[in-house]
Amino acid sequence: QLRPDFYSRTCPSVFNIIKNVIVDELQTDPRIAASILRLHFHDCFVRGCDASILLDTSKSFRTEKDAAPNVNSARGFNVIDRMKTALERACPRTVSCADILTIASQISVLLSGGPSWAVPLGRRDSVEAFFDLANTALPSPFFTLAQLKKAFADVGLNRPSDLVALSGGHTFGRARCLFVTARLYNFNGTNRPDPTLNPSYLADLRRLCPRNGNGTVLVNFDVMTPNTFDNQFYTNLRNGKGLIQSDQELFSTPGADTIPLVNLYSSNTLSFFGAFADAMIRMGNLRPLTGTQGEIRQNCRVVNSR
């Protein structure tokens, strides 16, 4: 039902308008590309890619922005607002917030050095948010491989390549120390660091995230090329330099079917880029609202007035 040329007649400038906002924003905020990709991911895992994550609290529902995986970490909402405002000027009541987030993710990846792919379009926007589901459906940085696989399979992403390729979104962006500290000092209650951590990387991380330090300090996911979308993430995993447990698990879980994929993507950029584009399309197709379902929100933060 979704198709890449959905707006070719009704809003042909949609890609350029979104791209211009991101290019402008990147000049002052190099994190924004990763932040936008994460918003799309956190949207799609909660009842499909329906822009429910963009809704603020109303009298009928609580915002997903308050859910544990999003609070104080999901960001870029104001940038999506800028895109929406520009699009409402150019093509009123035409482009959904869900499609804006999907297109913006693809362009963010491309502008950061990653692959391009034809984004299927035609999603519509939800008229409610799902706070409780956001608390349970999103994968945690403390997950084991088995828990990660279940979280992905629960939304319909059941191929090992879905999990391994989409985790590669951590080739750019940042995480807060509070999601890393346990691995550095007291992994799983052992009073020792995570044994999979590379010793020199462990020392570096301990300097950035001291034992009782400020948990809001940001650390780069990719220590080598922090703002570039490349396959360095997988090479880092092979070297014990994954920042969060749930990423390192992909390579360090004995006998896991994810290990050959980490090795492949680490040695072959095109394999990773192809798998990432494929997995992004699969994720973008999760339970979309189409046709007359949902609505085209005029302001991404609020449901249209009835």
Give yes or no for a contact between 246 and 255, defined as CB atoms under 8 angstroms apart: no
Whether residue 52 is annotated as binding a ligand: the answer is: yes
- Residues pairing with 125 in the sheet: 295
Please name the residues in contact with 54: beta carbons below 8 A apart, sequence gap of 6 or more: 39, 43, 77, 80, 97, 101, 297, 300, 301
Residues in Cβ contact with 56 at an 8 Å cutoff, skipping those fewer than 6 apart: 63, 65, 301, 302
Q: Are 97 and 54 in contact (CB under 8 A)?
A: yes
Residue 42 a catalytic site member: yes
**Which helix (H) or strand (E) is 174 found in, with range?**
strand 174-176
| 278 has binding-site annotation | no
DSSP 4-16: TTTTTTT-TTHHH
SS3 of 125, please?
strand
The reply to whether 168 sits in an annotated binding site is: no
Q: Is 258 annotated as a binding residue?
A: no
Q: Which strand (E) or helix (H) includes residue 176?
A: strand 174-176
| Tokens at 79, concatenated | 């940038």
Of 177, 179, 272, nearest to 234 (Cα)? 272
Instruction: Please provide residue 105's backbone torsions phi and psi, each rounded to the nearest 5 degrees.
Output: -65, -45
Evaluate whether 115 touches 274 at the Cβ level (below 8 Å). yes
170 known member of a binding site:
yes
Of these residues, 42, 123, 183, 301, which one is catalytic?
42
d(CA 198, CA 236): 10
257 labelled ligand-binding: no
The structure tokens listed for 19 are 């791209």
Confirm or deny that 40 is annotated as ligand binding. no
Residue ranges of the annotated binding site for Ca(2+) are 43, 46, 48, 50, 52, 171, 222, 225, 230
Residue ranges of the annotated binding site for heme b are 170
Residues with catalytic roles: 42
Residue ranges of the annotated binding site are 43, 46, 48, 50, 52, 139, 170-171, 222, 225, 230
